[in-house]
Amino acid sequence: GQQVMQIPQYQHVQEGEDFTTYCNSSTTLSNIQWYKQRPGGHPVFLIQLVKSGEVKKQKRLTFQFGEAKKNSSLHITATQTTDVGTYFCADTGTASKLTFGTGTRLQVTL
């Protein structure tokens, strides 16, 4: 079955440093969605990418969809303590199943 892996599994940065998480699929992704889950909370939708090579920005966050639609990335510029949480990518799939990646946990310290 499909596997959606994210690296790194965990990253600890100093506030102000940049952060990137990578999402890689064993099969071609349909659409890719990104979610953020704060500690003790539930996943909250951030953005969706649809087209090959698409790049979208939300303030300090930059999302990219690979040309072959088998990978995606999320880059945060100048992290803040409010960025703490786990970031998940999710494939909407041909059967609309919504399969989540393994997640990357971000810790930010002052």
| Residues at the interface with another protein (CB under 8 A) | 1-2, 30-31, 33, 35, 42-45, 48, 50, 86, 88, 90, 92-93, 96-103, 105
Could you give the CA distance from residue 99 to residue 91 in angstroms, rounded to a whole number? 5
- Positive or negative, the Cα torsion across 49, 50, 52, 56? negative
Residue number, 40 or 82, with CB nearest to another protein: 40
- Closer residue to another protein, CB minimum distance, 20 or 30: 30
CB of 102 to another protein, least distance (A): 5
Please, what is the minimum distance in Å from the beta carbon of residue 42 to another protein? 4
Cβ proximity to another protein, 46 vs 77, nearer residue: 46
What is the bridge-based pairing of β-strands 55-58 and 44-49?
unpaired
**Main-chain phi, psi angles of 81, to 5 degrees:** -65, -25
Beta-carbon contacts of residue 78 (< 8 Å; ≥ 6 apart): 16, 17, 18, 60
The nearest distance, CB 78 to another protein, in angstroms, is 25
- Which lies closer to another protein via its Cβ, residue 77 or residue 107? 107
